[in-house]
Amino acid sequence: AAWERRAARALIALEGVDRAGKSTQGRRLVEALRAEGTRRPHLLFPADRTTEIGQLISSYLVREKNLEDHTIHLLFSANRWEHVPMMKEKLHQGVTIVVDRYAFSGVAFTSAKGNFCLDWCKQPDVGLPKPDLILFLQLSPEAAAERGNFGRERYETSSFQEKVLQSFYCLMEDKTLNWKKVDASKSIEDLHREIKSLAEETMQEVQNKPLGELWK
């Protein structure tokens, strides 16, 4: 419908290895957009640990529970899909959504385990709302490890994160998606300014475009 296309919405995903600053930057971006009068910008964590599926994921990450590798992959995807009706409703109302991780984390982390092809990893997330902008917060695994709190959860080792980074680079070769790399070693403030201007640029551009479907 015409009203859907007129809505000034954008779906913006923040991606990167652990400790790159995605959550900090996500919060800062939503606060800044809100302060400048953007209508109800919304921050979402698709690795939302509060739902029933999210609680299973959480107990896996903190090593309370072991789950088979395909199973945990599908649970992460299910955790995104359970948010889709709400996301679509908001986007159609013209609300901008910032997601702290998305399907790209799903693919990058599972495929880093080896024995998984990228294509299998992508399938469960095919058809999700397509981000208008994917901000890749680039930080070396060594620099990430120095930021503290590293090594408590599953996946938090430099050697695994290095493999995750390689998987992200494969995903970034897809030119049908709007990837923008940003240098996450910068100060929080400088990085915030860069991210905010990229987000605002995207919000201007997508004003009249319909919502796309990921990897379709």
Site residues, ligand NYM (CB under 6 A): 18, 46-47, 61, 76, 101, 105-106, 109, 155
Q: At its nearest, how many Å lie between ligand NYM and the CB of residue 123?
A: 13
Nearer to ligand NYM, 116 or 155 (CB): 155
Cβ closest to ligand NYM, residue 7 vs residue 14? 14
Least distance (Å) from ligand NYM to the CB of residue 99?
9
Of 20 and 182, nearer to ligand NYM (C-beta) is 20
DSSP string, 153-204: STT-SHHHHHHHHHHHHHHHT-TTS-EEEEETTS-HHHHHHHHHHHHHHHHH
Q: Which does 132 bind (CB under 5 to 8 A by kind): Mg ion, ligand NYM, none?
A: none
Residue 32 or 67: the one with the smaller Cβ distance to ligand NYM is 67
Nearest approach in angstroms of CB 7 to ligand NYM is 26
Tell me the closest approach of the beta carbon of residue 5 to ligand NYM, in angstroms.
29
CB of 195 to ligand NYM, least distance (A): 17
What's the closest the beta carbon of residue 65 comes to ligand NYM, in angstroms?
A: 14
Q: Which residue do the tokens 């403030």 mark?
A: 189
**Total residues found in the chain within this entry:** 216
- The closest alpha carbon to 171, from 124, 71, 113, 102, belongs to 102
What secondary structure, in 3-state letters, does 26-94 show?
HHHHHHHHHHCCCCCCEEECCCCCCCHHHHHHHHHHCCCCCCCHHHHHHHHHHHHHCCHHHHHHHHHCC
Neighbours of 172 (CB within 10 A): 16
From the list ligand NYM, Mg ion, none, pick the one residue 124 interacts with, judged by a Cβ distance below 5 to 8 Å according to partner type.
none
- What the block records as the tokens of 165 is 């980074």
Closest CB to ligand NYM among residues 104, 179:
104
Distance CA 39, CA 34 (A): 7
Span interacting with Mg ion, options 17-25, 48-56, 100-108, 136-144, rule CB under 5 A = 17-25
Nearer to ligand NYM, 10 or 17 (CB): 17
Q: What angle do CA 2, 32, 17 make, to 5 degrees?
A: 95
Q: Select the binding partner of residue 155 from Mg ion, ligand NYM, none (C-beta < 5 to 8 A, by kind).
A: ligand NYM
Sort 120 into a burial class: Cβ within 10 Å, 0-12 / 13-18 / 19+.
Answer: middle
Residues within the interface to Mg ion (CB under 5 A): 18
